[in-house]
Amino acid sequence: MGSRINFPDLAFGVLLIAIGLVAWILIADLPVGTATSMGPGYVPRGLALLIGAFGVVQCARAFAAARVPLPSTALRPLLLVGASVAVFALLLRTAGLALTAAAVVIVAGFAAYDVRLRENLLLAVGLAVFAVLLFVIGLGLPIPIWPQ
Amino acid sequence: MDLFANLATGFAVAFTPINLAFCFLGVLIGTLVGVLPGIAPITTIAILLPFTFTLPPASSLIMLSGIFYGAQYGGSTTAILVNVPGESSAVVTCLDGHQMARQGRAGPALAIAAIGSFIAGTIATLIIATASAPMSWLALKFAAPEYFSLMVLGLTGAVVLAHGAPGKAVAMVLVGLLLGLVGIDVNSGLPRMTLGIGELGDGIGFVPVAIGLFGIAELAVALGSPQDRTLLAFKAKNLWPSRDDIRACIAPILRGTAIGSVLGVLPGGGAALSSFAAYAVEKKVSRTPERFGRGAIEGVASPEAANNAGAQTSFIPLLTLGIPGNAIMALMVGALMIQGIQPGPQVMTEQPQLFWGVIASMWLGNLMLIVLNLPLIGLWVSLLRIPYRVMFPAIVLFCCIGTYSIANSVFDIWIMLLFGVLGVFLIKVGAEPAPFILGFILGPLMEENFRRAMNLSRGNPMVFVERPLSALLLLMSLALLVILILPAVRAKREQVFQE
């Protein structure tokens, strides 16, 4: 990879082109109308075109720039924070708030490099109790506390 | 005078026990997140947004705005004692504030920051109260073309003030506008870009998007970059600045207030820009500029006054025109819409209690902050000892519950996750999410006004430049863009953001 490419700019440009393309395909069937009476497709089409054009310019400029590597991304926090959110989405309806909250905290806790097991478990229990007390009992949100 | 009658109405609303309580809660939470680095006020407001659904509109807005200006106070505490800005607007406070703390003058630095903020908050409240009436009067002259041009100006401002490359910010605005249009088109009843998913019929939810981008994404990135904090020993003794200190700070506080008040109103403006500008000005006018960066008390007083004034006056475009000037104001629009209130000039006439109540609460909130914060500084400092690894799982959990509770929808959690991942990507490639969120909230409004204006002019785009007010707004946007492109300004801008 000795090339002179600005990789962050290139990645952003590719994302823009992808968004423009997907949007264009999704709105292909919508009536465009005229400038006087615009259909539902008029403005989104214009935007999709503009976004795509910006993407192309970004990509072109990325190739003409000095080399910039993609910044390194710490995968562990990203994956585990993401996983904890997914756990919440998957468990809440069946497991109830108490168990879900504890599970979210445990999974999220491991996203930190300096996680301590006992502290994390205590935190999970504490936050689960707190969440149930505050949100279900205090604020009255319609969330089941225990598994259905 | 009308002003006093209006303010009296406002104070009557703000002084009801429930609103006093929510104002207190708001500034307390605001100070808390301001003190803690790693949780921004925008994240907090996004997380709390769903819970305001059950509150009366005035209480909801009073609390949320309290979080915003409360965070400006809290941010300076961390900046002075730890040399870590609790908020982006407190970055310049680190320069002289922390030096003062090193010289054993942490107390006066904290006190002058609080006093400066209070004076600025008081003046800014008066400015909002006086400026609102003429602004709303102007707003009544607005038709579709003017609204469209005004939104162009707002988005241009967001681009100019975004960090990083302007091209990326423009692209982010466009993507925001596009995604804002997802859902069933009001005019034709046809679904747009919904992928046939029923939940997307009402559009992509604003709260999951905001929490994903500002909450989840920021967390995941912050965890990847280790933070170290060394706390300076702090004694609550010698809190009060000397008479000389106060005398030296009066003019800087007033200058800071003036700068902040003006910059806050500008689209895209707000607290952070104001404090940078105030510091630069203070250094320029000082007879002893070499003291700056070495513990000059003026270098704390003026930016602190400016960021508080800017935070407050950035409410003016929102309250009078219904157009959010920055991402936090976009969240406020979200808060109003949850309550079924369409922000705009009519709010002032149709909901005077809400309007003046929120304004009056700002002054009350500032008073609470000064009474609250100075005695409680010890408590805030001890909070800084809580390790991040204990704090962030709680934040993740609250993000999830908050997003879920807005519509009891698991689908929204997935949307939040999706935008969290997108947010990490954007941060990594150097594109800021703030212009995106502004475009996202303005998308439907802008399309609607564009369609209407073009319809009235029979498809002639000249309508935007033939009407004087609209032309003026577009000219202002153009001027902003030209300034941005000028090489001298560009270099300066990069330098400011570097610092």
Q: CA of B238, closest CA in chain A: separation in Å?
A: 37
B271's tokens: 């607290």
- Average pLDDT, stretch B479-483? 81
Dmax over Cα atoms in chain A, in whole Å?
Answer: 66
pLDDT 10s digits, B72-128: 888 888 788 877 766 667 778 888 888 888 888 888 888 888 889 899 989 998 888
Average pLDDT of the segment spanning B415-420: 95
The whole-number pLDDT of residue A1 equals 47
What's the gap between Cα B86 and its chain centre? 14
Please name the member of B171, B190, B430 whose beta carbon is closest to the beta carbon of A51. Answer: B171
Among A85, A129, A134, A137, which would you mutate to test the B interface (most chain B Cβ atoms within 10 Å of its Cβ)? A85
Q: Is the pLDDT of residue B163 over 80?
A: no
- What was the pLDDT predicted at B82? 74
Average pLDDT over residues B322-339: 82
Binary contact (A74, B223; C-beta < 8 A): yes
CA distance B271 to B85: 13
Contacts of A16 in chain B (CB under 8 A): 171, 175
Domain span at residue B338 reads 2-498
With pLDDT > 70 as the criterion, what percentage of chain B qualifies?
91
Determine contact, residues B113/B301, Cβ cutoff 8 Å: yes
Residues of A in contact with B223 (CB under 8 A): 74, 77, 81, 111-113
Neighbours of B262 (CB within 10 A): 17
Integer CA distances (angstroms), B388 to A74, A96, B36, B316, in order: 17, 27, 9, 36
pLDDT of residue B334: 83
**Under 8 Å between Cβ of B79 and B90:** yes
Interatomic CA distance for residues B394 and B132, integer angstroms: 39
Contacts of B192 in chain A (CB under 8 A): 26-27, 30, 40-41, 44
Nearest alpha carbon to residue B446 among B186, B144, B108: B144
**Chain A residue with the nearest C-alpha to that of B181:** A44
Instruction: Residue B431: list chain A partners with CB under 8 A.
Output: 12
**Candidates A6, A7, A9, A12, partner chain B, best to mutate (most B CBs within 10 A):** A12
The string of pLDDT tens digits covering residues B201-210 is 888 988 889 8
Q: Which residue has the tokens 């089941």?
A: A144
Cβ B393 vs Cβ B192: under 8 Å: no
B195 contacts in A (CB within 8 Å)? 26
What is the C-alpha radius of gyration for chain B, rounded to an integer number of angstroms? 22
Could you tell me which chain A residue has the CA closest to the CA of B458? A36
**B342-384 per-position pLDDT tens digit:** 887 778 778 888 888 988 898 899 899 888 777 777 787 777 7
Residues of B in contact with A60 (CB under 8 A): none
Rg (CA), chain A: 24
Q: What is the pLDDT of residues B223-244, one digit of tens each?
A: 877 655 555 555 555 677 888 8
Q: What does pLDDT average to over chain B?
A: 83
Q: Do B181 and A43 touch (CB under 8 A)?
A: yes
Indicate yes or no: CB of A37 within 8 angstroms of CB of B410.
no
pLDDT tens, residue by residue, B44-68: 887 778 778 788 888 999 999 898 8
| Nearest-by-Cβ selection for A16 from B171, B388, B405 | B171
Digit-coded pLDDT (tens) for B170-181: 999 999 999 999
Name the DSSP letter for residue A29: T
Q: Pick A85's closest partner by Cβ from B216, B425, B428.
A: B216
Average pLDDT score over residue span B245-271 = 84
pLDDT of residue B496: 56
The predicted structure's pLDDT at residue B182: 93
A26 to chain B: which residues are within 8 Å by CB?
Answer: 192-193, 195
Distance from CA of B221 to the nearest CA of A (A): 7
pLDDT value at residue B353: 86
Domain count of the fold of chain B: 1
d(CA B77, CA B93): 9
How much is the average pLDDT of B19-36?
A: 88
Task: Give CA–CA dist B203/B485, Å, rounded.
Answer: 35
Q: Contact B171/A123, CB-based, under 8 Å?
A: no
Q: Which positions in chain B touch A57 (Cβ < 8 Å)?
A: 167
Structure tokens at A41: 């497709």
Q: Which residues does chain A have with pLDDT short of 70?
A: 1-3
Q: Is the pLDDT of residue B277 over 50?
A: yes
C-alpha dihedral sign at A82, B331, B166, A35? positive
Q: Residue B499: which pLDDT band, with cuts at 50, 70 and 90?
A: very low
**What pLDDT was estimated at residue B16?**
92
Residues B382-407 pLDDT 10s: 777 777 788 888 888 988 988 888 78
Asked if pLDDT for residue B490 goes beyond 80, the answer is no
Q: Give ∠ CA B368-B370-B372 in degrees, rounded to 5.
A: 60
pLDDT band at B489 (very low <50, low <70, confident <90, very high): low
With H, G, I as helix, E, B as strand and everything else as coil, classify residue A30.
coil
